[in-house]
Amino acid sequence: MTTGCRVAIYSQDSLGRGHPPYDGSDAGRVYMHPTSRIVWWAMCVVAALLMAGESQARSTEEKTVTPKAKVQTLPVPHGGDAADDPAIWIHPTKPRKSLILATNKKGGLHVYNMDGSHRQLVSDGTEPNNVDVLYGFKLGNKLVDIALAGVRAKNSPGGKVWVIDPTTRTLTDVTEGGVFKVFGGGEPYGSCSYRSAKSGRFSFIVNNKKGQVEQYLLEDAG
């Protein structure tokens, strides 16, 4: 594709000051006004940029793809705004045996195999909102992996902790008292977990709809 640059060209005898004096030779030749030179170069640059943008747009359009899921989990049993945040627990030796943990805000915590098939439902009725995973938490005399979530059931809001068994690939609730209270018994909104790189200690962090944030240190209750 050829792009022409349209510029204004002035004859020598109409230019005025700032141009080589006319010596009578090369009659009929034309000169470009300094301003015209600037305009000419500017227009060439703009045209080049437009061509590059058009080429890039075509290239982007040609490379655009629509991702498609290879597998999907079975839907949760509740409709509307129910299925919420997931987390993936990675098996220590066999990645294919990893688990998908997904919250049902109107039910419990669902556990799925990596092919999307349903494996387990725990703590039904607690209405978990966000779920997270931590590895290597010391519980008793061994290190375990745990899942944590904020729960919003009206009769018992707060936080919950489950141990993930790598052999049976199932979750077991290990929360002391069934749920630990946050915001003095208030309802959590969002939550996440954290392991300090400095101290190695584990924390559960939660906020509410007022924008308040609390951090809880996780320890073995003995």
At residue 46, the pLDDT reads 54
Helix, strand, or coil here: 131? strand
In a domain? residue 93: yes
In a domain? residue 158: yes
Helix, strand counts (H, E) of the chain: 1, 13
At residue 69, the pLDDT reads 87
The one-digit pLDDT tens for each residue of the chain (222 residues) are 333 222 222 223 333 434 343 344 433 333 334 444 444 445 555 566 666 666 565 555 677 888 888 888 888 889 888 888 899 999 999 999 999 999 999 999 999 999 999 999 999 999 999 999 999 999 999 999 999 999 999 999 999 999 999 999 999 999 999 999 999 999 999 999 999 999 999 999 999 999 999 999 999 987
At residue 4, the pLDDT reads 28
Write down the residue that tokens 């003095």 correspond to: 184
Cα separation, 216 vs 160, in Å, equals: 12
Residue of 143, 163, 152, 149 lying closest to 193 (CA atoms): 149
In a domain? residue 58: no
Beta strands in 47-157 (DSSP E): 83-89, 99-104, 109-113, 118-122, 128-139, 142-151
Residue 169's CB is within 10 A of a number of other CB atoms, namely 17
Cα separation, 187 vs 209, in Å, equals: 9
C-alpha 172: how far from chain center: 29
First CA to last CA distance, the chain:
77
Beta bridge partners of 83: 104
In a domain? residue 34: no
Sheet with 83-89: strands ordered across: 83-89, 99-104, 109-113, 118-122
Beta bridge partners of 195: 202
Q: Tokens in use for 183?
A: 């915001």
Does this model's pTM top 0.85? My answer is no
Cα separation, 20 vs 32, in Å, equals: 11
At residue 99, the pLDDT reads 98
Cα separation, 209 vs 15, in Å, equals: 72
In a domain? residue 42: no
In a domain? residue 48: no
Show the domain range for 101: 80-220
Q: Kindly calculate the radius of gyration of the chain based on its CA atoms and give it in whole angstroms.
A: 34
C-alpha 67: how far from chain center: 16
In a domain? residue 13: no
Say which DSSP state 106 is in: T
At residue 8, the pLDDT reads 26
Residue 68: phi and psi, rounded to 5, are -125, 135
> What is the tally of structural domains in the chain?
1
CATH assignment at residue 136: 2.120.10.30
In a domain? residue 57: no
